[in-house]
Amino acid sequence: MTQLREHILRRLRDKVARGEPIIGAGAGTGISAKCEEAGGVDLIVIYNSGRFRMAGRGSLAGLLAFGNANQIVQEMAPEVLTAVQHTPVLAGVCGTDPFLLRDKFLRELKELGFCGIQNFPTVGLIDGVFRENLEETGMSFDLEIELIAAAHEMDLLTTPYAFDPDQARRLTMAGADIVVAHMGLTTNGSIGAQTAKTLEKCVREVRDIAAACKTVRGNTLVLCHGGPIATPEDAQFMLDRVPEIEGFYGASSMERLPTELAITGQVEQFTRLKLTSDLRRQHESSSRINGDKDVTIGTVHREEFN
């Protein structure tokens, strides 16, 4: 049964009051979600980039025309929702989809068992002339803010990405419960970003985003995500230096990087196995002797037959 938004928020705020950070995680497969829940995660989010990521492609594949983002989330829903026992699961929704019947789609997500939404794919990851053209041609970040407002009206938990203080302020005004300060594509691993901000720069930017949220509504929860914040140590670095935030949200850092490390490490251990030399020599010697006997016996039999 879908968990109520207020119950989820109460549980999260109680956790923060105990001095424990809120931890959210992206899941691209059922086993990822199952393991994240076993690890004690507070929120699980599924979106189209999770499918690409766990297929060995970069997360930015989720921003390109390789599939219908909202449809992919609906397809992934049974796999993930049935793998989770009690953790709230949210859906990544592409609010700029020109063919999205927004309110109908949000109701369908709620009926499937999703507790809330996040704005992904998001044009917030796009900059330059391309971003300007998107804004000019009706595919703007404003639509993502409207999506969050509509979901809030339906009592869905909203945890949108914000890329700057102005977006954070507007998302909070629209009713966002948890604002995730996005620092860019996650680094590290075989398909992670090579270009990223420094952790020190992230401290300043996350602090500014958090301040913008809490100026609008003091109890807004703020998490950090992405860029160089790729390991538990990186997340702790941020939590230690930005007391205005309440936790961390990871996607690649929660399933892609652990998968790469675990599978590679396990296979490397298997490939370093040795054939036991003494026993192998005894076995080979025994095999040669038995083989010679077979040849001799075979020869005798043929001579007797002749």
Claim to verify: residue 214 and residue 301 sit in the same structural domain: no
- pLDDT band at 244; cut points 50, 70, 90: very high
- Residue 291: its pLDDT value, please? 64
The mean-pLDDT minimum among 49-53, 79-83, 127-131, 298-302 falls in: 298-302
Question: How many secondary structure helices (H) and strands (E) does the chain include?
Answer: 12, 9
Enclosing domain of residue 289: 278-305
Does residue 121 have a cis bond before it (omega within 30 degrees)?
yes
Claim to verify: residue 101 and residue 197 sit in the same structural domain: yes
- Residue 303: its pLDDT value, please? 47
User: Higher-confidence residue: 165 or 275?
Assistant: 165
> Which tens digits make up the pLDDT trace of 116-150?
999 999 999 999 999 999 999 999 999 999 999 99
Claim to verify: residue 142 and residue 23 sit in the same structural domain: yes
Claim to verify: residue 19 and residue 58 sit in the same structural domain: yes
Claim to verify: residue 111 and residue 243 sit in the same structural domain: yes
Claim to verify: residue 98 and residue 78 sit in the same structural domain: yes
- Rounded mean pLDDT, 53-63: 82
Claim to verify: residue 254 and residue 287 sit in the same structural domain: no
Claim to verify: residue 78 and residue 194 sit in the same structural domain: yes
Burial of 241 (0-12, 13-18, 19+ CB in 10 A): middle
- Rounded mean pLDDT, 187-193: 51
User: Higher-confidence residue: 202 or 259?
Assistant: 202
Contact 156, 138 (CB under 8 A): no
* CA neighbor of 117 nearest in space, from 85, 153, 164, 68: 153
Selection from 3-7, 51-55, 204-208 with the highest mean pLDDT: 204-208
- Residue 174: its pLDDT value, please? 98
Token digits of residue 186 = 């996650």
pTM above 0.75, yes or no: yes
Residue 68: inside a domain: yes
- Residue 304: its pLDDT value, please? 47
Going from the C-alpha of 39 to that of each of 1, 2, 24, 220, the distances in angstroms are 22, 21, 11, 25
Please say if the pLDDT value at position 200 is more than 70: yes
> Which tens digits make up the pLDDT trace of 93-102?
999 999 999 9
Q: Is 56 left (phi over 0), alpha (psi -120 to 50) or beta?
A: left
- Rounded mean pLDDT, 180-203: 76
